Amino acid sequence: VTVRIGLEIHVYLKTHSKLFCACSARFLEAPAPNTQVCALCTGQPGAKPMGVNAEALRLGLQVAQALGCTLMPGVRFQRKHYFYPDSPANYQRTATPHGTNGSLEGVRIRELHWEEDPGAYDLREGTVDYNRAGAPLLEIVTEPDLRDPAHARAFLAELRFLLDHLDANYEAAGLKADVNVSVPGGERVEVKNVNGLRNVETAIDHEVARQTEAISRGEPVGRETRHFDEVRGVTTRLRTKEEEADYRYMEDPDLPWLPLPPALLSETLLPEAPLARRTRFETAFGLARAEATTLLRERSLADAFEALASTLPPAAVAEFLQRDLRGELHARGLTFTASGISVAELTALLSGLGARSITPQVATRLLRERLDFGRSLVEGVRAEAAEKGTAEQAVGEAVVAALAENPKAVEDYRAGKATALNFLVGAVMKRLKGRAAPDVVRAAVEAGLGNLR
Ligand SMILES: [Zn+2]
C-alpha cells in the first residue's frame, strides 16, 4: 500500500456567457459586484433556464476527448440542494458525466461533468456577489492514482498543457480543486477548495508529510475535511466527515435530457488529439518534449509552426518561435493569435534570417516594430535586405577605389607588411565616412586584395 492521492478539479470554462443565461461569464472583468446578473443566475422565483451554453458544451467535450474519455450519448442536469447565501435558489445545477474512463499521465480519470458556479459570499461583510453565479465549470474527477507530490505535479502540468492547447480555461479565474490524500495506516482526508495549481501542489506536499508524520508518531489519521491556508501553506481541520452531506439530488425539471448527438460530437472533436500531436512533433520534427509542449500550448502557434516547418528547417523555426517570438509576446502579455502575426510574415522573417539578409538583432528589432507599431514584417525584411544590399555595394565600391588609389600599400601588403592592411581599411572607412562596421570593411578589403592577386 502506498500514498493515494485523488483530485476533483474545477476548471472555469472560457466562454463568453454563463452556463444557462446570457450574462457575461468574465466575472473578473465586471465593473462592480452584481452587475453581470439576471433573474436566472440570481435564482429568482419563476426564472427558468432556456438552454445550455453551446461553447461550454464544445469545450467540455474537447477536454473529455483529450483525456481519452468514453463520451456519453447525453447528460441530465440535477439539482444539488444546499442552503447557503451564495446560492439563492438553494440548489446548484450539476450534470451527469459526459465523459468517463479517461487517463492522463498514468492517472485514471473517473469522470467529467458540467456544473454552475455559485456566487461569492463574504462571511465578514455578509454580502454576496452573484457575478460569478452561473459561470460554467468543468469538474474533472480522478481515481486516487497519484502516487506522490512529484507525480501530482507532473499530472497537473500535463492537464494544464491540455487546457492551454484547447484554450478551454478562463485562466485569470484560476482553478479550484478538492484534494484527497490517504497514507498507509490512515483514512482518507479531504482538503476542500484549494485555489490554483501551485496551491494544490503545496496542499498535497503538506498533507502527505503531515499524515506520514502522524502515523509514525502512532497518532490515528481519521476521515476528515480540511481547509488549506494559502498564506501559511498548511491545512487546518474543518470538520470531521462522518457521512456525506444530504444534497437531495433531483433531476432539474426545467432542463430536459440533453442529447450529445453524433453530429455535435463529430464537429466538436479535434482532428488530432493534443498528446498524439505532441508525439508527432517530437518524432517528425526532432523536437524535445519541452519544446513541443511550449509550441503546442497555443494551438494557433503550433499550426504556424507546422506551416513554417514544411518549407524551413524545423529546428531553427522551433527555436525562433519558442524563444524569440514567445519572449516578445510574453513581455507584452499577448497571445500569438492576439498579435495577428501571419505565417507569411514569419516566413519572410525566417527566410531573411536563413539567407543572412538580416541579422538576428535586426530580426528582433523588426519583430518589436511589428508588435508595437504594426509595421509589417514582410515590408520590414524587404527594406532591411535592400538597405543591406546598397550598403554592401557601397563598401565594394569604396574598396575598389581605395585599392586603386593606394598601389604602394597594396604592394606592401603583398610583401607581407601587416600594417598595410590597417592602412587600407582606414582608407575605405574614410571614403565611407565611418558608415560601415570595421570588421565588414576588413573582410571586404581582404577579399579585394585576394581578387587582385
Ligand atoms: Zn444571468
The predicted-structure confidence for 40-78, as pLDDT tens digits, reads as follows 999 999 999 989 999 999 999 999 999 999 999 999 999
CA distance 285 to 113: 36
CA of 105 to the centre of ligand 1 (A): 37
* Amino acid (one-letter) located at 332: R
- Helical (H) or strand (E) element with 345: helix 343-354
What distances in angstroms separate CA 390 from CA 108, 149, 233, one per listed residue? 63, 61, 63
> At residue 209, does pLDDT exceed 80?
yes
Rounded CA-CA distance 302/139 in Å is: 27
Ligand 1 centre and the CA of 88: distance in Å?
Answer: 13
- pLDDT tens, position by position, 76-122: 999 999 999 999 999 999 999 999 999 999 999 999 999 999 999 99
Average model confidence (pLDDT) across the chain: 91
pLDDT single digits (tens) 148-182: 888 998 999 999 999 999 999 998 888 889 999 99
Query: Sign of dihedral through CA atoms 96, 98, 102, 105?
Result: negative
pLDDT at 243: 52
21 CA distance to ligand 1 middle (Å): 5
Q: What is the pLDDT of residue 240?
A: 59
C-alpha of residue 300 to centroid of ligand 1, in Å: 32
- 287 CA from centroid of ligand 1 (Å): 46
Q: What is the pTM of this model?
A: 0.82
C-alpha cell at 194: 484549494
Distance in Å, CA 17 to ligand 1 centroid: 8
